[in-house]
Structure 1
């Protein structure tokens, strides 16, 4: 994650079932929900004015750290999260067992 995003807080907007990261007055978010005892990550969205700046990576990394802090497993249903996990296999330890096969081979 770029240093300029490290100090920005990840907000759990539980009423809307999404994690939010606000950068320069624009908010990126990741929608989530509980499924089979794990945290399912459904969709990540970065506003157009923030695209290409590393904001998507920052929110994914912050959410993964939060999932780990909560001692939860995750179900990566969002293609952006799945892509990140394939590039960063050290985070695959958080993936629920039934979904581990997506990252094998």
Structure 2
């Protein structure tokens, strides 16, 4: 299985592809130096297989690499950051 997480700025979302097919996304609103995550969706056929976790981890890694901060309005992203305190430094005030 080939997994790829990529930013799709035109659609304002990070997408996870499995064997080149869209398996889910996490939507965001860009601000100056801040990425506001608003919603995450994973296709039902891959739900519960760690796809959402992989998507959010790699999206946050890309945000960190750009030097941006995060506002986690999406409950899935917020829960991920709560469970993985190594990403807590990315949080900005809303």
With normalisation by structure 2, the TM-score equals 0.89
Match of 2:83 in 1: 87
Say if 2:15 and 2:24, in contact at 8 Å, map to a contact too.
yes
Larger radius of gyration: 1
4+ residue stretches of structure 1 with deviation over 4 A? none
TM-score for the superposition, normalised by structure 1: 0.80
Q: Give the length in aligned residue pairs.
A: 93
More helix by share: 1
Which residue number corresponds to residue 58 of structure 1?
54
Q: CA RMSD in A?
A: 1.7
Deviations 1:22-70 (A, max 9, x none): 1243421010112364110111100000101000000010011001000
Unaligned stretches of 5+ in structure 1?
100-105
**Higher share in strand:** 2
Are residues 1:23 and 2:21 paired? Answer: no
